[in-house]
Amino acid sequence: MKAITHLAAVAFGAAALASSAFANAPEGWETDVDAAIALAKKDGKSVMLEFTGSDWCPPCIMMGKKVFSKPEFVKAASKDFVLVHLDFPQGDKALAEKNQPYADKYEIEGFPTVVLLDKEGKEFSRFFASEFPEIDKFLAHLKQSLEKKELD
């Protein structure tokens, strides 16, 4: 009986840890860059990578509350983009370490940074998210970035 109780406790603990790694992503956001690029390719969309420090970076926290977590933003941005939330929280070292290779790959130098990729995964724009702290301004910048990409 002790073995079963111990096994159940270990399984529950592992499940709780695994789910905490994904609990930080706002609804409607992916956390797997490769899966997001594959989905973008399939759906003919671009990819928006959001690099954030959700529990220590004041501009990141503000953007999460005012823009990225809002259903109206997710719905509008998802028409043209697969949204990817890459968090680097101080309170979850495992999640930060999991996402570190993407920060290295895209040479992230500050937070909150947004990197826009085409459906092939090629970068076409980047900016600090906090430059556009309102939903309408952020969406307008995304639209402008897409239009510029089409001209290039």
Kindly tell me if the per-residue pLDDT of 22 is higher than 70: no
- For residue 138, the SS3 value is helix
Look at 1-15, 26-40, 94-108 and tell me which has the smallest mean pLDDT.
1-15
pLDDT at 104 over 80: yes
Domain architecture of the chain: domains with CATH: 23-151 (3.40.30.10)
- Residue-wise pLDDT tens digits, 48-61: 999 999 999 999 99
Q: Which residue stretches of 44-131 are H helix?
A: 58-63, 71-77, 93-105
pTM of the model: 0.84
Percent of the chain at pLDDT > 70 equals 84
CB 44 within 8 A of CB 79: no
> In the predicted model, what is the mean pLDDT of the chain?
88
CB 87 within 8 A of CB 96: yes
* Cβ neighbours for 17, distance < 8 A, ≥ 6 positions apart: 94
By C-alpha distance, which of 43, 41, 52 is closest to 84? 52
- pLDDT of 136 reads 98
Dump pLDDT digits (tens) for 137-146: 999 999 999 9
The pLDDT of residue 10 is 38
What is the rounded end-to-end Cα distance, in angstroms, of the chain?
67
The C-alpha atoms of residue 127 and residue 24 are separated, in whole angstroms, by 22
